[in-house]
Amino acid sequence: SIVFNIVETTARVSPNATYCIVTNPVNAVVPIAAQVLKKLGVYNKNKLLGVSMLDVVRANKFVNNERTPYPNQAAVPVVGGHSDITIVPLFSQLQGPAVSKSSERLNALAVRVQNAGTEVVKAKAGAGSATLSMAYAGATFALLVVDALTGKSNPVVYSYVDTDGTQPSSFLAIPLLLGTSGILKRYPIGRVSD
């Protein structure tokens, strides 16, 4: 209800606003925000972005920890959703030296990315969640969006959005090109391994 109230208030005050929804569950909150904006007659599918950057940050970190001699160079696309098994890291699109040719190892890494939030909660013995890494991911995403909206750059990001008919699902985390008017282009997901 907090997100509902924020979206509703923002829409009334600034009907052309760009929204970066980071509140969990992103898979549910983004479609709800879309409905609120539609009800108010100000929905712009190119200005509503669900922040799934934390999944990308985690996938990159886990892969980079295993890649030698080229650590910190992986850019793993992560599509799907932003919870558990809906998170799909696309190791098949990883550039440069492979982490492993073993499908077992890649599957284990995918499961680790999917369960990373639970892993953090367990490590903190239930006394918190991934606040610092979420803050980092949220800030990184927000700065990319600001750069795009101000015309500084046109970044490609992965975000949970209205797919505008480009995918079988109405909402999905997909690769996007951002610009001064929000989403300029929704890219195909690309090659997916088994």
Catalytic positions are 82
Cross-strand bridge partners of residue 174:
159
Helices (DSSP H) in 26-152: which residue ranges?
A: 26-39, 53-66, 103-114, 116-123, 131-149
The residue written with tokens 């991911």 in the block is 137
Give the angle subtended at the CA of 164 by the CAs of 184 and 144, to the nearest 5°. Answer: 35
Cβ-based neighbours of 101, under 8 Å, separated by 6 or more: none
Helices (DSSP H) in 45-102: which residue ranges?
A: 53-66
